[in-house]
A and B are shown apart, each in its own frame.
Chain A
Amino acid sequence: MHSEKRDPDSDEFLLMSIGNSQDSEAFDALFQRYSSKIYAMGMKLTRNDQLSKDLVQETMINVWRKARLYDLDRGSAQSWIFTAARNRCFDMLRKLKRQPQCVSADDIWPEGSASFDQSSEDHEGGALTEISLVEKYCEQLPAPQRAVIEQIYTFDRTHEEAAAELQIPLGTLKSRLRLGVSRLRLLIGVDQ
């Protein structure tokens, strides 16, 4: 669907915006893109309209709540949402068949949507985690913005020095810096 991960319109970007800052517009966009697909999956597996609607709701609640656990390194957002929908559907069918609740879909597919990897759970960690997180998000910026941020924040150059180094006009540098920083803030969840 939208595979370019840096694209602010990509599924990955939207999912991370939900995870980082509970961005309800991003949620709205993902909802528009996926609800009919989730409904179709429900109809295929349950052949029941109401169950399929319930599936859309349960899956999207899950997306909203667990978006912060989404890890870009582990795969695409569409695959993450696919596994979320499959897991909810599997559990709904088990419940319907009154099967013992000893195992749930998240136990069977621990690496799927409900991937509770330690790496994605230590967001509240110390400064070191924060820095590596910022570095990780920097890699998601478009190359020109990344280059500007690197000049200013990593090499501690002035705007003029950085513009000269990158051979771009000062105005261009400033606008790339502004875009890059605001995108980073969005990714990190400082504000919108």
Chain B
Amino acid sequence: MNTDLDHHPAKELLANHIQGTLSTGVSVALSAHLELCDSCRASSRELEAEASDTWLQESGEVSANDFSKLIKDIVVLAQENPSESRQEEDFPISKIHMHDHSFDLPRVLAKAANDSLEWKRLAGGINQAVIDIDSETQCEFIYMSPGSKTPMHRHEGSEITLVLDGSFSDSSGTYGPADFIVREGEDEHQPVSEEGCLCFAVLDKPLTFTRGLARLFNPLNKYKFRKTTAHQV
């Protein structure tokens, strides 16, 4: 079931994001949503303040003796290497061009896209560019061309979709820019897009197509997923 009725990340997910305990793929999706959504950015600041309070209240009954000698080292070390100031970075991929317009990516996605995106055409007018972010998830940009229809599929794990541009709909509703959608396993759906839609998606298990010829892709999908996530420790 869709638990994010208003298409924003649940508070619990945001709280885990603040703790830094989520996979990088999911963290990147949340970070991109926060860049696009003022209200979630405000709540994440509150959560951050709460998290730091809790952190300090928890008993840290560990001797800091070993550390005291570090202080001098740090001061000396840091003076040898004067603080670096970060330059505004120019990312090779800061926009994604679609057939009649282009879209400015949120900064974290521009960074994650690195210097190239390799688009592949899938069935039903869908285009996919996988990016290698971590070993626990498969992260990809999905571009649904106007009038496209994804083959009916099911997720074995969870899938997070962040709509960047345009819109798509499925049996649960219609989603537009900045919408953050979490699908849990066993959800079967068939997204369609009238106007075209650019999304960033994070999957933690491969997709399983449930109808038609697309089922032939299943073994291939599983293989591709294993390959993408192969360098697991």
Contact = CB atoms under 8 A, between A and B. Distances in A.
B27 A108 contact: yes
Interface in B61-94: 61-64, 66-68, 70-71, 74-75, 77-79, 83-86
A68 B83 contact: yes
23 contacts: A24-B75, A27-B75, A36-B61, A36-B63, A39-B67, A60-B70, A60-B74, A64-B74, A75-B45, A82-B51, A86-B18, A90-B20, A90-B27, A96-B233, A99-B134, A102-B114, A102-B132, A103-B112, A108-B24, A110-B107, A112-B48, A114-B86, A121-B85
A81 to B, nearest CB: 8
Given A78-B52, A87-B20, A56 B70 contact: yes
Nearest to B77: A61
A87 B24 CA distance: 12
A68 B85 CA distance: 10
A61 B67 contact: no
Q: Which 4 A-B pairs have the closest CB atoms?
A: A82-B52, A40-B60, A65-B83, A36-B60
Which of A57, A65, A79, A108 gathers the greatest number of chain B CB atoms within 10 Å? A108
Contact of B49 (A57, A76, A109, A121): A76
Contact of A57 (B56, B61, B63, B74): B74
Contact of A40 (B51, B52, B62, B112): B62
A105 B21 CA distance: 12
Contacts of A1: 56
B62 A102 contact: no
Contact of B111 (A45, A53, A97, A102): A102
B127 interface: no
Interface in B24-56: 24, 27-28, 31, 35, 41, 45, 48-49, 51-53, 55-56
A1 B59 CA distance: 13
B111 A103 contact: yes
Which of B20, B48, B108 gathers the greatest number of chain A CB atoms within 10 Å? B20
A40 B31 CA distance: 26
Interface of A: 1, 22, 24, 27-28, 31-32, 35-37, 39-41, 43, 45, 53, 56-57, 60-61, 64-66, 68, 75-76, 78-79, 81-83, 86-87, 89-90, 94, 96-100, 102-103, 105, 107-112, 114, 116, 121
Give the contact-size bracket for chain B.
35 or more
A112 B62 CA distance: 26
Nearest to B23: A99
B71 A31 contact: yes
Nearest to B79: A22
A107 B19 contact: no
Contacts of B58: 40
B162 interface: no
Contacts of A98: 135, 231, 233
